[in-house]
Structure formats: structure tokens, C-alpha cells
Amino acid sequence: MPVQPYLFFEGRCEEAIEFYRAALGAEVSMLLRYKDSPDPLPPGMIPAGGETKVMHASFRIGDTEVMASDGRCSGKPAFQGFALSVSAANEAEADRLFAGLSEGGQVQMPLGKTFFSPRFGMVADRFGVSWMVIVPA
């Protein structure tokens, strides 16, 4: 039984997907906009002008399927209480992934050697999603 992350970007989903394409090589497998829903949306579900926002998307990062949406397009994403962890094959890959995720974000723990990994670091990306990059020991 797989458990998949589902991220709500509150109006910045498409921007986030493009960021993850560049930073992590994400590949989009599906993207559905609110305007493409076969059923009418409940009144007040999204603000006026939100019809072109992402209702549901699915993309792969490595072997993991990540799902995402603009949610209710509130403009206030809140990513708290969790982090996504990405395992790099080697130190050079960890450096590349960490640099990509750090662009416009905030480093929480610089990438470096730890007692449990030759390379580990933590960063909140420009959308506020926390990431841990690790090279397994």
C-alpha cells in the first residue's frame, strides 16, 4: 500500500511543478485545471479568476509519485510538520539537488558530512516545502 505526498500550493502549483522539473528532474504525468472539471465546482470553492489554476496534478521525482493542487487558491500555502527526503546516489548529486532546492529558499541545515551520512542537509524551498537531501551511508 503506497503512501503518497499531496501538496497544496494555494495558487502556485504550476510554478512549483516547473521549479521541481528544473531542480529535481520531475516529470509531469497528469495536470487538470479547475476549468476542465466535468462537474461544476461548488460556489465559492475557488476565487474568481481561479479557473485556470491546478485542480490536480501528479508528477514523478525519481521513483516517487507526488500529487499536488492549488487547493482553494488562498495564496497562503502552509507546509508545516513534515519534510520530504530525497536520497542522492552520491555527493555530487546531493550537491546539485540541494543547490536546486535552495534557489530562492532558506537553508535550514547546510549540506555537509554527518555521523550518519557523507552528505546531508535540510532546506525549505521557495514555496515553504521542507526537504532533506541525503546520501545514504
Distance between CA atoms of residues 67 and 116, nearest Å: 30
The tens place of each residue's pLDDT in the chain, 137 residues long, gives: 989 999 999 999 999 999 999 999 999 999 999 999 999 889 888 999 899 999 999 999 999 999 999 999 999 999 999 999 999 999 999 999 999 999 999 999 999 999 999 999 999 999 999 999 999 98
Asked whether the beta carbons of 57 and 30 are under 8 A apart, the reply is yes
* Alpha carbons 135 and 118: distance in angstroms, whole number: 6
* pLDDT of the residue at 34: 96
At how many degrees (to 10) do helices 91-102 and 13-24 cross?
150
In this structure, are residues 121 and 91 in contact, taking their beta carbons and an 8 Å threshold? no
Domains of the chain, start order: 6-69 (3.30.720.100), 84-135 (3.30.720.110)
**Residue written as grid cell 546531508:** 120
